[in-house]
Amino acid sequence: MVALSGAVLVGTAIVTCLFMAWVLGANSNSPPFAPAIGANAISTMRAAFVIGLLAAAGALMQGGSISETVGGELIDGVTITPLAATAGLLTAASFMAIGIYTRYPIPAAFATTGAMVGVGLSLGGDPAMATYRRLGIFWALVPIMSGGLAYATATVLRRDDVPETVGVPLLAGIVGAIVANVRLGVIPDPTADQGTLASFVARQFGGGPTLAAGIDLGTVLITIGVGALAFYWVRERVRVSVENGIRSFLLVLGGIVAFSSGGSQVGLATGPLENLFRAELGLPGSLLLAIGAVGILAGAWMGAPRLLQATSREYAQLGVRRSIAALVPGFIIAQLAIALGIPISLNNIILSGVIGGGLAGGSAGVSRRKIGITITFWLVTLGSSVVVGYGLYQLFAWVIGS
């Protein structure tokens, strides 16, 4: 049984986790639906409502891998205590508040990772160099991947020899095929904690012969079928009305990205409490994810509308095609990061996609000065959050110890 002082620490850590999830829900889920609002495909309040539901669903179904990385793989030799988790989450939330105040996007992934490394070192742990290399390589590749995919997507959409009834539906088909292979906690799988729609349906029909990389023929056929259905649906809508068809795809794409955002962001709030819930309290990880999902839902409903109005004006200037070009890489990279258990910032991905899509038209359409300052903020955030997390935990430990 937890002692009174321990109960207070546990309660404080949970409240801090909820607050961090609230901040993430209010600030990190605006980009997916901002293009649809800018294109008048959905109202601001309805978008905030849908974002909350989808992001919370993504948190519950896909947030486990990121949460485990943040909670157990950033530091070696020690486990994160409730006091250390509180110090780390407060540090990360403070950095995000600075970003909101200055209007420069500070990646929550950078702030949380740095803060948890700092508190872990303050506990006496050792740097997890293998994890840092893995994260560093992926983070360095994000602008290249996102910008490159956005550039290629925007180039295809701008080509005169590619009809609107082919280019946009083709992208929808690719997105549909990927959605069929997204791992979800609600889908059972005999070989993994999370299954995919394509593999689950394929198993109902026997699966078929195994092809390369252990993938069976049935999964491949289901993937192609889902992609074909997405292609057909969007193509039919584009045939009736090009603009309405593109807006419909933009709306669906925003929903998918919002779902992915919840899955990739909730672990930044729940990860620090992984050891507390699983090892000390013996509670299932799904309960911790549910707490994070509630915080994200509340943040999206209460705090997202104002940011949605602001960001939608920026996306309205981009246009629907460049918005699609920015969101498609966001979805792909977010799902890749979830599969690998790597904490990421969706804002980082979307910004890189906006720049890449802009370059396809001959200009990034984004202030170079602001890009430079933003990148500087990211690097400073990663380094200084380590220092602040280290110092804040030392301060908390000294105060409680006195």
- DSSP sequence for 312-372: HHHHHHH-HHHHHHHHHHHHHHHHHHHHHT----HHHHHHHHHHHHHHTTTS--S-HHHHH
Cα gap 108→24, rounded to integer Å: 8
DSSP structure class, residue 216: B
Higher pLDDT, 314 or 35: 35
What does 97-135 look like in DSSP terms, one character per residue?
HHHHHHT----HHHHHHHHHHHHHHHTT-EE-HHHHHHH
Number of CB atoms found within 10 A of residue 213's CB? 5
Q: How far is CA 274 from CA 68, 173, 216, in A?
A: 7, 37, 35
Cα gap 71→369, rounded to integer Å: 35
Cα gap 307→294, rounded to integer Å: 20
* pLDDT greater than 60 at residue 363: no
pLDDT in tens, 254-264: 899 999 999 99
DSSP structure class, residue 210: B
Q: How far is CA 195 from CA 220, 221, 225, in A?
A: 15, 17, 18
pLDDT in tens, 63-88: 888 999 998 899 998 989 888 999 99
Contact 313, 38 (CB under 8 A): yes
If you average pLDDT over residues 262-275, what whole number do you get? 91
Number of CB atoms found within 10 A of residue 402's CB? 5
pLDDT at res. 290:
93
Q: Strand 75-76 and strand 126-127: pairing?
A: antiparallel
Number of CB atoms found within 10 A of residue 10's CB? 20
Over pLDDT 90: what percentage of the chain? 35
Cα gap 276→70, rounded to integer Å: 13
If you average pLDDT over residues 2-30, what whole number do you get? 79
* pLDDT greater than 80 at residue 61: yes
- Residue 39's pLDDT band (cuts 50, 70, 90): low
- Residue 159's pLDDT band (cuts 50, 70, 90): confident
Instruction: Show me where the domains of the chain are located.
Output: 4-401
If you average pLDDT over residues 378-387, what whole number do you get? 89
If you average pLDDT over residues 43-52, what whole number do you get? 86
pLDDT in tens, 93-107: 888 877 767 666 678
